[in-house]
């Protein structure tokens, strides 16, 4: 659940009135990538039908992905990267037609970088239920209508099952490493537990072993912000005659999420009680700078994401529990014996450090014994997207084993 682009990770401290005015115009009804839009750097793989844990079937599933580097003749140099909640497959590359944002891990992936594309074949799919090319609520069903509110409920395990089918389709039998942060860390954990022996190394960054009641409660407020928007229409807004989607609800959900992605001191240190301006372009008189900041990023988000996908992915995160059906969390984690980097962020108030310590303590392959590797940073949960030098050092340590 993260800011996924450089402009989000390193924002201007004080948003100008002109920047706010630029976002006052109506957003698209959905920020999803749709068939007919520029493809950009995407590739697509058809994986057939998928049966979910809830007993529903999604026919004709398509997975969107990007890849970087080349698969070697032995087929043993591939690395799988799972993205976080608001991320996608665009790890590297500038914003361009088809890609609303710059690549979110460009400092990590590329020639001569930690995930060296001269050495490795990096594969990054957009998860099932996402909104950047993989089958999701904004996709067309077999009758040619958007799934909308009829899209099936998904779990993290459903999404990993779809990823495994995608990997089979493109012909990769085993990965040199599987890496994921935040929601992607949930997928990385489940990958090893569902498909043991299909990766040599594992990296789980800023992710918990189970989604707690506190985290589910925080998620509920975001979900209800979307559901309570009259323009949501039960999820069936794509052909709304007025062309208005649930922008207000989605922007509010984003504002709520952003407050959890940074530490409890970071926004105060940046903004304090500073005023944006004496008169706000949105009306209502004076305005705090932090309010303008949150409004800017909330409204910006509506131009690159889909409200139904946000609901689908957050509910999938709520399902996360590595111990479900496996004898509990400790018993499940005890099966992770391969070399594993478990990284936690002490200032993270979303997925707190105690969760990573549980993973570390009970995973025999953890690099640092019974404790998670610490990523000390003032940036909270988002640190794994910002402190790329430190993250890179730890990934290099894992890959060197």
**pLDDT per position as a tens digit, 261-319:** 988 888 888 888 877 765 555 555 567 888 888 988 899 999 999 999 999 999 999 99
Q: What are phi and psi of 234, to 5 degrees?
A: 65, 20
CA–CA separation, 67 vs 48, rounded Å? 21
Which conformational region is residue 283 in: left (phi greater than 0), alpha (psi within -120 to 50 degrees), or beta? Answer: left
- Closest listed residue to residue 33, CA positions, set 280, 360, 303: 303
Task: Check if the beta carbon of residue 318 is closer than 8 Å to that of residue 223.
Answer: no
Give the residue-averaged pLDDT of 189-196.
98
* Higher pLDDT among residues 397 and 286, named by residue: 397
E strand residue ranges, 74-160 = 78-82, 109-110, 115-116, 121-125
pLDDT digits (tens, 9 = 90+) for 90-119: 999 999 999 999 999 999 999 999 999 999
Share of the chain above pLDDT 90, in %: 84
Helix or strand (DSSP H, E) at 248: helix 247-261
For the record, the structure tokens of 155 come out as 């779990």
**Separation CA 240–CA 238 (nearest Å):** 6
Q: What is the pLDDT of residue 75?
A: 95
**11-55 per-position pLDDT tens digit:** 444 555 555 555 556 789 999 999 999 999 999 999 999 999 999
Q: Which of 2, 295, 321, 348 is catalytic?
A: 348
Which helix (DSSP H) or strand (DSSP E) does residue 88 occupy? none
Residue 56's Cα: distance from chain center in Å?
Answer: 24
pTM greater than the 0.85 cutoff: yes
pLDDT grade for 4, boundaries at 50, 70 and 90? very low
User: Could you report the per-residue pLDDT of 117-145, keeping only the tens digit for each?
Assistant: 999 999 999 999 999 999 999 999 999 99
Domain ranges within the chain, ordered by starting residue: 6-399
Question: When comparing pLDDT for 11 and 348, which is higher?
Answer: 348
Whether 323 and 329 have beta carbons less than 8 Å apart is answered as: yes
* Sign of CA pseudo-dihedral 89, 249, 6, 215: negative
For domain 6-399, give the CATH superfamily. Alpha/Beta hydrolase fold, catalytic domain (3.40.50.1820)
362 catalytic residue (yes or no): no
- 46 near 60, Cβ under 8 Å? yes
**Greatest alpha-carbon span in the chain:** 65
Could you tell me whether strands 340-344 and 287-288 are parallel, antiparallel, or unpaired per DSSP bridges? unpaired
- Is residue 348 annotated as a catalytic residue, yes or no? yes
Which residue in the list 8, 134, 381, 382 is annotated as catalytic? 381
Distance CA 309, CA 332 (A): 29
Instruction: Single out the catalytic residue among 89, 134, 182, 377.
Output: 182
Q: What's the mean pLDDT in 213-237?
A: 98
The residue ranges of DSSP E strands in 112-259, in sequence order, are: 115-116, 121-125, 177-181, 202-205
Tell me, yes or no, if 102 is annotated catalytic.
Answer: no
pLDDT score, position 293: 86
């Amino acid at each position: 659940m993260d800011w996924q682009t450089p402009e989000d990770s390193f924002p201007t401290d004080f948003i100008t009135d002109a920047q706010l005015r630029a976002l006052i115009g109506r957003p698209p009804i959905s920020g999803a990538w749709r068939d007919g839009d520029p493809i950009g750097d995407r590739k697509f793989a058809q994986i057939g039908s998928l049966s979910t844990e809830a007993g529903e079937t999604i026919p004709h599933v398509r997975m969107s992905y990007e890849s970087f580097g080349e698969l070697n003749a032995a087929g043993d140099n591939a690395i799988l990267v799972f993205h976080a909640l608001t991320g996608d497959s665009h790890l590297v590359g500038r914003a361009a037609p088809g890609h609303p944002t710059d690549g979110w891990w460009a400092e990590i992936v590329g020639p001569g970088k930690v995930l060296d594309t001269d050495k490795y074949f990096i594969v990054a799919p957009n998860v099932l239920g996402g909104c950047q090319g993989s089958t999701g609520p904004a996709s067309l069903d077999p009758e040619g209508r958007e799934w909308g509110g009829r899209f099936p409920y998904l779990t993290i395990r459903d999404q990993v099952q779809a990823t495994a089918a995608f990997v089979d389709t493109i012909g990769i039998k085993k990965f040199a490493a599987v890496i994921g942060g935040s929601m992607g860390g949930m997928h990385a954990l489940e990958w090893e537990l569902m498909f043991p022996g299909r990766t040599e190394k594992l990296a789980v960054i800023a992710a918990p072993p189970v989604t707690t009641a506190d985290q589910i409660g925080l998620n509920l407020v975001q979900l209800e912000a979307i559901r309570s928007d009259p323009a949501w229409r039960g999820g069936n807004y794509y052909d709304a005659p007025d062309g208005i989607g649930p922008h207000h609800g989605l922007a509010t959900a984003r504002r709520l999420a952003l407050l959890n992605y940074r530490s409890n001191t970071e926004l105060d240190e940046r903004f304090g009680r500073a005023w944006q301006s004496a008169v706000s372009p949105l009306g209502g008189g004076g305005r705090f700078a932090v309010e303008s900041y949150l409004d800017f990023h909330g409204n910006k988000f509506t131009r690159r994401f889909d409200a139904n996908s946000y609901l689908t992915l957050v509910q999938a995160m709520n399902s996360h529990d590595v111990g479900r059906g496996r004898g509990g969390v400790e018993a499940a984690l005890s099966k992770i014996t391969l070399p594993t980097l478990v990284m936690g962020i002490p200032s993270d108030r979303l997925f707190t450090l105690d969760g990573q310590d549980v993973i570390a303590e009970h995973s025999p392959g953890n690099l640092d014994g019974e404790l998670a590797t610490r990523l000390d940073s003032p940036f909270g949960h988002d640190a794994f997207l910002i402190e790329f030098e430190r993250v890179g050092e730890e990934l290099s340590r894992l890959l060197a084993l």
